[in-house]
Structure 1
Amino acid sequence: MLDNLRGMAVFASVVGHGSFSGSARELGITTSAVSQQIRSLENTLGVVLLHRSTRKLSLTEAGASFYEAAKDVVSAAEQGRIKVNQLRDELAGSLRIATTPELGVNHILPALSTWMSAHDDLSITYFADNNYIDMIDERIDIAVRMSPNINDSTLSNHPLSDVRQMLVASPQYLRQHKKIETPKDLADHQLICIDIMKDANNVELTQTETGKKTRIKMTSRIHTNNVFMAMTIAKEGHGILRMMEMDVKKELESGNLVEVLTGYQMPSFVLYAVTLNREQQPAKITRCLEVLKKYFHAN
């Protein structure tokens, strides 16, 4: 089948140029290679396509009919090549982005909003889920995640930002419960547990001035798998919440939540954009990564 398609392209070129030599120059092959392609095609079809003479070539009846089909095949292939190049080089086609609901609402949409408006030939699909989505099965172009895929050679990791963890609570909660002055005081308080976090109840704190580390296992009576739900529960005064600073920034600025144990630091994470590992990424993916990096660098 592939040989037939190659032969059809050579045949269309020969007819278009009116000679084997002209076709050879266009295709960058030898005249004998062109002649061989035509003979092979005629043998496969079982008909003569060209009358050959020392002065010129002419189409047989079968050749004239077959030429129209060959032209359509070559034209379709060229249109396909043009479309592929457009998708590679232009901001057009589809872009599929996976992230968590909170990252999507608080950061990915604000980061890309102006960019989306400027490129209306781009169709964007967002997948918002706290579980990992298989990038190949779901044809994901960019996934924004808190952890890299170090054991998967099919993926590339692009660091976007360092992200600090922190403990927060509502002013109401802190007024009504025992003071928190040292990490050990946390043992007397309830942690609102976000179940999607690994080791959510084990809190590690490092004193900023001395570097001394303390690990505390907190108890939890309220659990959720959703960050937005956890923030609402914390604002209602039901416990202490372990959060990424970037997700709770607005609540801190408004005063609805305040940081607990400001003289201590929790371990930080790195936020990554993950893509499939390719030698050359389409322009839409490259530009989207640039916009995301710029946003997180500025923020």
Structure 2
Amino acid sequence: MIRDLNDTMVFVHVVRLGSFTAAAHALQIPKTTVSRRVRELEQAIGVQLLRRTTRQLSLTEAGAVYFDQCKDIAATLEHAERAVHQLRDGPRGWLRVTVPYSFGISWFSPLISGFRQAYPEIQLEILASHVPLDLVGGEIDVALRLGVLPDSSLVARRLASYATGIYAAPHYIKHHGQPATPDALIEHRTLVLHQARRDVGYVWPLRKAGAKQRNYLVEPSIIANDPALLRDALCAGEGLSLGMDHSMQADVEAGRLCRVLPEWIGPPQDLNAVTAREHLPSPKVTAFIGFLKAHMSAQQDRS
């Protein structure tokens, strides 16, 4: 059993920085203390970890193995210490967030000012995108994503779940009628998203309350990668579209759209706050997700 984990931390610093002198300077302790701690670590383990000469410092075979196993532990401890210091001082710094384009404009954009007022020491960088961005490679703190999360290396926290249904403009229904059953959808013009593509063609998953979901073929007249691109065409009577009730509500209330096959519902769209998997989420990420959850809870209480 190692008596003091600090000895391991000192050893890792010596290897990373290449000398006892550099490690002593970085740790702000005497060089003699660095040398003593490494020596005590070797005695505790029972093997030599470093070869010391007047000009050179190198790892033994055992030292290389030990460093390889301990370097991540040291990094985790340093990260934990920084996180605790940040928590003590409060959430602060730049927060890099990515959002779906249309959802970011309609849902997230109105929340920005309220979040900044609640956390004035957090600066926001917002990336709106039609496709999911790489969180790790893009150094993104949080991604707001709709739908299923396929990557198990990421952590998703569900913020809300939105019902979906089929909508059309009164103008379209007046001139083309509306389907009596989902099987009749194939006879109508539809406005669809790219993700509706399957091997058999474009499909809409639908079900009645309490029944199993089934895929129904549709014939697209317009295909897009973002629902905002379909809105004007939908309101102009270009066809039927499957979308979130939440997004269609304002147009329904204004008489620009109406529900088609109202007893049939599409798959719910979950809104997730997605982060890379890490041991300790930073205070600014925790504050951001907590703010969104509080907003969703207040919104549900009002509805």
Matched, 1:118 2:137: no
Deviation at 1:98, TM superposition (A): 0.8
Amino acid at match of 2:176: H
Aligned alpha-carbon RMSD (Å): 3.1
Deviation at 1:96, TM superposition (A): 0.6
TM-score (norm 1): 0.69
Deviation at 1:242, TM superposition (A): 1.3
For the Cα contact (< 8 Å) 1:207–1:265, is it kept in 2? yes
Which position in structure 1 is the counterpart of 2:181?
A: 182
Deviation at 1:214, TM superposition (A): 5.1
Cα distance in 2 for residues equivalent to 1:136 and 1:179: 46
For the Cα contact (< 8 Å) 1:86–1:92, is it kept in 2? yes
SS at match of 2:30: helix
Cα distance in 1 for residues equivalent to 2:238 and 2:163: 23
Cα distance in 2 for residues equivalent to 1:213 and 1:275: 30
Q: Do the aligned partners of residues 44 and 203 (structure 1) sit closer, same or farther apart at CA in structure 2, a change above 3 Å counting?
A: same
Give 5+ residue unaligned stretches, structure 2.
Answer: 1-16, 41-52, 56-80
Deviation at 1:130, TM superposition (A): 1.4
Cα distance in 2 for residues equivalent to 1:213 and 1:196: 17
For the Cα contact (< 8 Å) 2:191–2:240, is it kept in 1? yes
Identity in percent: 21
Matched, 1:142 2:161: no
Matched, 1:93 2:93: yes
SS at match of 1:218: strand
Q: Do the aligned partners of residues 10 and 216 (structure 1) sit closer, same or farther apart at CA in structure 2, a change above 3 Å counting?
A: closer
TM-score (norm 2): 0.68
Deviation at 1:229, TM superposition (A): 1.8
Which position in structure 2 is the counterpart of 1:59?
A: none
SS at match of 2:230: helix
Deviation at 1:207, TM superposition (A): 2.4
For the Cα contact (< 8 Å) 2:242–2:266, is it kept in 1? no
Superposition pairs for residues 113-262 of structure 1, below 5 Å?
Answer: 113-153=113-153, 155-199=154-198, 201-208=202-209, 211=211, 215-262=215-262
Deviation at 1:103, TM superposition (A): 1.4
Deviation string, structure 1 residues 28-82 (Cα, Å, up to 9, x no partner): x99x98xxxxxxxxx979xxxxxxxxxxxxxxxxxxxxxxxxxxxxxxxxxxx88
Deviation at 1:123, TM superposition (A): 1.6
Q: Do the aligned partners of residues 149 and 196 (structure 1) sit closer, same or farther apart at CA in structure 2, a change above 3 Å counting?
A: closer
Flag the structure with larger Rg: 1
Give 5+ residue unaligned stretches, structure 1.
Answer: 13-19, 34-42, 46-80
Deviation at 1:192, TM superposition (A): 1.0
Deviation string, structure 1 residues 6-36 (Cα, Å, up to 9, x no partner): 3332239xxxxxxx9xxx8xx9x99x98xxx
